[in-house]
Structure 1
Amino acid sequence: MSWLHSRRIRFLCAGVTLFFILFAALRLGFLIASADHAALAGESTGVILQTISIGLRFDLRLALLIMLPVAFAASLPRVNLVRSRFTRALTGLYLALATLLVLLVYVLDFGHYSYLGQRLSATVFRFAGNADISTRMLWESYPVVWISLGWLALTAAFVSLLFRAARVTLDRPRRQPIRPLPAIAGIVLVSALGLLGMLGRVDNINPENPVPLRWSDAFFSGNAAVGALGLNPVTFIYDTHRIPPEKYDLAELRRHYDTVAHYLSVDSPDPATLSMQRTVKPHVHRLPVAQAPNVVFIMLESLGASRSGLFGNPLDPTPELDALAREGWLFRNLHVPVTGTAKTVWASITGIPDAARSESATRNPFISSQHSVINALRGYEKIYAVGGSAGWANMNALVLGSIDKVRLYEEGHWRAPNDDVWGISDLNLFREIDAILREQARKGPFFAYIQTAGNHRPFTIPEDNDGFIASSIPDAEAQQAGFQNTAQFNAVRLLDHNVGRFIEMARASGYYDNTIFVLFGDHNGRISTLPFMPPAFELLGLESTHVHAMIHAPKLIQPRLVDEAASLVDLMPTVAGMLGLEFGTATMGRDLQYPAPEGERAVPVILREGAFPVIGAVTRKHLVRMNADGSKASMHDLAAEAPLKDVSASHPEEFARLSKLARGLHESARFMMYDNVVGK
């Protein structure tokens, strides 16, 4: 065993060990500080330990990958780590930079999971296209200076350990020459152990085609929170980035075309052309009005259903919105297709779920101009208003390219000064857009889309807030009601306050009585287990897609409680049906006034984004979820106390129906994004 005295092998082993200990400690920190403890509590100790074991193997793989260039430098015949100061210095610089970058990824991963409940993946690169806004949001939302100092201090401390290990191993006196045979045997053994560590498994190894440990192994339990515990952020970014994006799976689309064509009531189904086109006739229950009503869409930033008093939130943070909902159509089970502001803007305008794998569809210049049901509002002035820059996620390209003759109002158009990274306050946005709508109402009907942003980090409460009084309840009390802290609770209350003020403005300006107001959350923030919400919404990931949504027009419609599952993409076709419009469409949105052809109404959701999405079809009672390729399908009872239990065996027909819909609608959404392009 004289080869163990090799100084270079000792240093390589020391480096791998130190990096592995660092990553294991960070994994422990994630478990303590960031992991979803409520979701983990429902799993057995054996499952948790197995997941941690998988995660540690990913950590070992990363440690080995980082040390591979060092192994190359150590193996050089004359200018290796022992003989060359230059090689030693260059290796030290590499290790310092590698440590700096890897720890930065961990810092970002902790923040990303804390805010969105998802580990860092290649989708983070979409924010690079808006680096200025992303940087300002981080600066205004987090103690960036202290976090940066901690990151640099940890880097410096760890690099000093590496340098000390180099001195202890590489600078020690050489005891005796190592004979060739033991040296070769040592190299072979160390290499074999390194390859086994890279492979990440000792079970089920096929010598002819060894399958390494993969990210999907961490999700063996079906619990997303458990799977997150088993991932390594650095290797997961690589795994999600290296998958080449594909538009859609044509063979899979054809396989499910008949199901989707029936779901959409396609006029002339044709599996050869994959036509999704249909003409929607004026609804028999269209509004009996002599003057064309105005339409105002209000996107409510981060307003999930669990934030609403109507859904049982004990702090009653949304009294204004709840009062509006009681006078209109309240959708108890409306879901956005996938979480994210840009993705909600896309779906609400196009009527297509944003099923893009690598980044939001608004960032794809080849599909930014879409046919929209909004354009069926002929004779309407069309207005889009956002307090900040519409260039965020290239949403301006979608708005301008898809809505005919739209007037886009954004940062730079407003008289009020910016309050934070997201532009002017929601209250000032409502004030200035009310003046525009008041003037337009004198000329003719209008369609307006108002995008709020105040209920978003950094949760700014402006000095000019028209009588709003911030609550001073402790963070712990806010957290018990599902909020991250008191600041977020107040941001929701402020959003509600501002919407109430806008409705007052609309009444005073004279266009309220003849306007259909459509209000909807764009997604929900992360919640913990809440006694007033079914456990399924947190444990199955539906808390992100389940939003507060309504159609408010008390002078035009009667109050109605809609319990059926509904989707964000259905809102514009439903309004068009209320207005008695005839329109053609090849998208997924449906008029909710018509009965669902599939029976119990089902809508598609994407529960996890990225290169390896988890998709589903949700009804009022059940969720079927699966990987995007159809594997690992399961069915869940949304009212059950143990919703993670697979109930597919108890409901085989419903499971088969929803499985086909989930797979078919997801692939159809990917197809529609390209099929619905203007000028195609």
Structure 2
Amino acid sequence: MLKNLNRTWLIFGPYQLFIKIMLLGLFILSLSRMGLVVWQWERVSAVTDLWTMFSQGVRSDLIIMGMLMSPIALLLPILVNRWFWPVSRWILLIWSVLILTFIVFMEISTPAFIMQYDLRPNRLFIEYLKYPHEVSSMLWNGFRAEVLVGSLVTILSGWGITRLLKLQFINFKFDWPEWKIWLFWPVLVVILALMIRSSLGHRPANPALFARTSDAMVNSLYINSAWSVYFAIYNMQHEDKSSELYGKMSHEEVLGTLSQLYPWIPNDADAKNPTMHFQQATQHRDKPLNLVIILEESMGASYVESLGGLPVTPNLDRLKKEGWWFEQLYATGTRSVRGIEAVVSGYLPTPARSVVKLSLAQQNFFTLGGLLKQQGYFTEFIYGGESHFDNMASFFIGNGFESVIDERDFEDPIFTGSWGVSDEDLLNKTHQRLSELNAKNQPFLSFVFTSSNHTPFEYPDGRIQPYDQPKQTDNNTVKYADYALGAFFDKAKQSDYWDNTLFLVVADHTNRVYGDDLVPISGFHIPALIVGADMESKQIKTVSSQVDLAPTLLSLMGVSANHPMIGRDLTIESEQLSPGRAMMQFADYFALMKGTDVTVLRMDQPSKSGQYDRLKRRMEVIGDASESQEKEALAHSLLPSWLYREQRYGISD
């Protein structure tokens, strides 16, 4: 039998090396997919069948194998000959081992990534590589076992692959003439091209082609992690066109559509700042209030008892009775920088990276800091970690924030973890800074960003009674973050700055956004509270977005100004704004929710319409979206990208 097998391989001559590497790669990827399917069987079996999963999976695996093997295949006639073989066989061996070990590494990394983000590795896998200190500390303290096991498996796999392929390359014998190698080479090139394109249509296959179910995580299992990351990198290099993932509209049509929903937007596509308008504050004050924004890391609604979550935020639940409490506020994305751009700039989400990280937004981009600085406020960003992370310091300093305080500015902190000093230290520093500024009679905007509730969930001992065991869990760090928040407000209420300062407490996003809905809307639900000064207790029941907070704050502060934010001023009676709306960017999906009606835009696929049931926390897909639904959602997605690309989202002159 072995002789027959060897005789079969001889038919392919030197091209048998190409085939064997490809088959080994397909075996590794299919084995990994099988393991992931078994692990997530309940969700997989609910929306698809094994034949579809594995047939489409092999299709996507052929794409990445074709891409990774292209250098070998295209140079094969030159490298595989009697003269160069003593040297070239080592080149081919090293390349083959590297690509197969890389595939193993990506698949080994996948389960931990799915547990955190409910998707295969994507652009976040690459973006975090810019911050080796924070990431290495987080991995070692929060995922030590996974890192050690994954490293060991990757090393052993690389060793095993090397031994297996070394035998193939060392024992390979030439029995084809040169002309025969070159004769069959064009056939290999054509096969390679078909593997990579995986389509005879106008466009080659992309991950959107494999979005076959209503569960985004299951859709990600159809493909492999190496291709998922590659495509994310490709999109990052073409972000200037990312707004067109869902379709195209003229600028005039975009503004015309949105001006019907937001009548305060000037319908003038030729204007320098097309969305610039004057907002008259509904609160008239002799002296506008100071503003403090506390952006809470990963404190989603699932942790807040009064929003149907766990009882781990007693202080926030207590404070909600003293100010404006948002019952149906939704984050725009799943990253901190997405929350920052929405809260500080009122900027709508896009499929691209947050503007906090994009080059054209590093100067002359609208922020509350730039606006209030024009009005005589001292503007400051306070963070307990390293402010260079996610490009935050550059974005804030370039757009109106006069001061940045970060980890280096804390002396003798109570506790320092992987992501910087504790929330306690952060809010103690904030109290100190606010007292100093108020003593100088200096109006101020302080933007405070917490970090304790972040993997690996570290916090000082003796502060809270842990909600669960072991100590380092998200529930416990949320409870600690709430403890620090309560202690801060206890001091703030006794301070001289309390009566002339407005406070916003809001989450940047939820800790983990997961679920088998096309867009897991419940994972975007976050708490928000406006308190301080003369605020009275009020519940805001209308559906609202993070982009509505800045216009609302300006009105409550008594600040009338020109600005480009299209968000709604919620000091206007909410009945006039019903049913409310929220925008959410989830991976390659964009969702617009109006009341309970949801429209989901998808890349290269028909848009979907659904209904969101808040009590069940589920979205039911009804069918394809109507033309008007798709148009409204598309206008919301296209507007911010256009304004960014043409640098038309700046401060008013």
Q: TM-score range by the shorter chain?
A: 0.7 to 0.9
Write the mapping of 1:277-676 to structure 2, written as runs, cut at 5 A. 277-283=276-282, 286=283, 292-313=288-309, 315-355=310-350, 357=352, 359-369=353-363, 370-374=365-369, 375-376=371-372, 378-403=375-400, 406-417=402-413, 419-444=416-441, 445-463=443-461, 467-473=463-469, 487-526=473-512, 540-553=519-532, 556-594=534-572, 600-608=579-587, 613-627=588-602, 631-639=605-613, 643=618, 645-647=620-622, 656-673=627-644, 674-676=647-649
Distance 1:267 1:253, change over 3 A: closer
How far 1:158 moved relative to its partner?
2.4
How far 1:500 moved relative to its partner?
0.9
- What is the alpha-carbon distance in structure 2 between the residues aligned to residue 78 and residue 301 of structure 1? 56
Q: Quick check: 1:5 aligned with 2:10? A: yes
- What is the alpha-carbon distance in structure 2 between the residues aligned to residue 664 and residue 147 of structure 1? 44
Residues 621, 637 of structure 1: 8 Å contact kept? yes
1:276 equivalent in structure 2: 275
- What is the alpha-carbon distance in structure 2 between the residues aligned to residue 66 and residue 350 of structure 1? 41
- Tell me which amino acid in the other structure corresponds to 2:477: A
Q: Quick check: 1:31 aligned with 2:37? A: yes
How far 1:617 moved relative to its partner?
1.0
Query: Could you say what secondary structure the match of 1:361 adopts?
Result: coil
- What is the alpha-carbon distance in structure 1 between the residues aligned to residue 268 and residue 79 of structure 2? 68
Q: Quick check: 1:118 aligned with 2:115? A: no
- Tell me which amino acid in the other structure corresponds to 1:567: S
Distance 1:233 1:167, change over 3 A: same
The alignment's TM-score, normalised by the length of structure 1, stands at 0.83
2:239 equivalent in structure 1: 245
Residues 289, 502 of structure 2: 8 Å contact kept? yes
- What is the alpha-carbon distance in structure 1 between the residues aligned to residue 446 and residue 57 of structure 2? 48
Residues 543, 582 of structure 2: 8 Å contact kept? yes
How far 1:600 moved relative to its partner?
2.7
Residues 58, 231 of structure 1: 8 Å contact kept? yes
Distance 1:212 1:401, change over 3 A: closer
- What is the alpha-carbon distance in structure 1 between the residues aligned to residue 79 and residue 357 of structure 2? 50
Q: Quick check: 1:101 aligned with 2:74? A: no
- What is the alpha-carbon distance in structure 1 between the residues aligned to residue 36 and residue 410 of structure 2? 43
Distance 1:469 1:518, change over 3 A: same
- What is the alpha-carbon distance in structure 1 between the residues aligned to residue 632 and residue 570 of structure 2? 18
Distance 1:280 1:163, change over 3 A: same
1:481 equivalent in structure 2: none
- What is the alpha-carbon distance in structure 1 between the residues aligned to residue 228 and residue 557 of structure 2? 48
- Deviation string 1:353-401 (CA, Å, 9 cap, x unpaired) is 24262x3312223212323345247343333210011111211122122
- Tell me which amino acid in the other structure corresponds to 2:648: D
Q: Quick check: 1:232 aligned with 2:224? A: yes
How far 1:575 moved relative to its partner?
1.3
- Deviation string 1:137-180 (CA, Å, 9 cap, x unpaired) is 33332213443222212221222222234456x25xx8xx6799
Query: Could you say what secondary structure the match of 1:461 adopts?
Result: coil
Q: Quick check: 1:59 aligned with 2:51? A: no
Distance 1:381 1:242, change over 3 A: closer
RMSD: 3.4
How far 1:590 moved relative to its partner?
2.4
How far 1:316 moved relative to its partner?
0.9
- What is the alpha-carbon distance in structure 2 between the residues aligned to residue 527 and residue 239 of structure 1? 21
Distance 1:643 1:61, change over 3 A: same
Give the gaps of 5 or more residues in structure 1: 475-484, 530-534
Query: Could you say what secondary structure the match of 2:328 adopts?
Result: strand
- Tell me which amino acid in the other structure corresponds to 2:46: G
- Tell me which amino acid in the other structure corresponds to 1:632: P
How far 1:569 moved relative to its partner?
1.6
Write the mapping of 1:147-162 to structure 2, written as runs, cut at 5 A. 147-162=150-165
How far 1:77 moved relative to its partner?
7.9
Query: Could you say what secondary structure the match of 1:362 adopts?
Result: coil
Residues 74, 189 of structure 2: 8 Å contact kept? no
- Tell me which amino acid in the other structure corresponds to 1:105: M
How far 1:181 moved relative to its partner?
11
Residues 338, 353 of structure 1: 8 Å contact kept? no
1:257 equivalent in structure 2: 255
- What is the alpha-carbon distance in structure 1 between the residues aligned to residue 320 and residue 58 of structure 2? 49
Query: Could you say what secondary structure the match of 1:298 adopts?
Result: strand
How far 1:648 moved relative to its partner?
5.4
How far 1:195 moved relative to its partner?
5.3
- What is the alpha-carbon distance in structure 2 between the residues aligned to residue 291 and residue 598 of structure 1? 28
Write the mapping of 1:111-150 to structure 2, written as runs, cut at 5 A. 111-122=112-123, 124-143=125-144, 144-150=147-153
Distance 1:676 1:579, change over 3 A: same
How far 1:599 moved relative to its partner?
5.5
Residues 542, 607 of structure 1: 8 Å contact kept? no
- What is the alpha-carbon distance in structure 2 between the residues aligned to residue 29 and residue 103 of structure 1? 13
Distance 1:642 1:427, change over 3 A: closer
Q: Higher mean Cα deviation, 379-388 or 509-518? A: 509-518
- Tell me which amino acid in the other structure corresponds to 2:153: G
- What is the alpha-carbon distance in structure 1 between the residues aligned to residue 434 and residue 86 of structure 2? 72
Query: Could you say what secondary structure the match of 2:465 adopts?
Result: coil
- What is the alpha-carbon distance in structure 1 between the residues aligned to residue 548 and residue 125 of structure 2? 29
Distance 1:79 1:549, change over 3 A: same
Query: Could you say what secondary structure the match of 1:412 adopts?
Result: helix
How far 1:317 moved relative to its partner?
1.2
Query: Could you say what secondary structure the match of 2:379 adopts?
Result: strand
- Deviation string 1:181-240 (CA, Å, 9 cap, x unpaired) is 998997787776655544436xxx46xx6x543321110224312211112222233333
Query: Could you say what secondary structure the match of 2:359 adopts?
Result: coil
- What is the alpha-carbon distance in structure 2 between the residues aligned to residue 559 and residue 433 of structure 1? 25
- What is the alpha-carbon distance in structure 2 between the residues aligned to residue 197 and residue 365 of structure 1? 36
Query: Could you say what secondary structure the match of 2:586 adopts?
Result: strand
Of 636, 650, 653, 1:677 maps to: 650
Query: Could you say what secondary structure the match of 1:221 adopts?
Result: coil
Count of aligned residue pairs for this structure pair: 629
- What is the alpha-carbon distance in structure 2 between the residues aligned to residue 500 and residue 384 of structure 1? 21
- What is the alpha-carbon distance in structure 1 between the residues aligned to residue 97 and residue 495 of structure 2? 63
Query: Could you say what secondary structure the match of 1:456 adopts?
Result: coil
How far 1:297 moved relative to its partner?
0.9
- Tell me which amino acid in the other structure corresponds to 2:206: R
Distance 1:546 1:435, change over 3 A: same
- What is the alpha-carbon distance in structure 2 between the residues aligned to residue 622 and residue 160 of structure 1? 57
- What is the alpha-carbon distance in structure 2 between the residues aligned to residue 349 and residue 527 of structure 1? 22
How far 1:657 moved relative to its partner?
4.7
Distance 1:71 1:450, change over 3 A: closer
- What is the alpha-carbon distance in structure 2 between the residues aligned to residue 584 and residue 180 of structure 1? 74
Distance 1:438 1:192, change over 3 A: closer
1:42 equivalent in structure 2: 46
- Deviation string 1:252-306 (CA, Å, 9 cap, x unpaired) is 33222112123333364224437212111121xx27x666433221111001111
- Tell me which amino acid in the other structure corresponds to 1:355: T
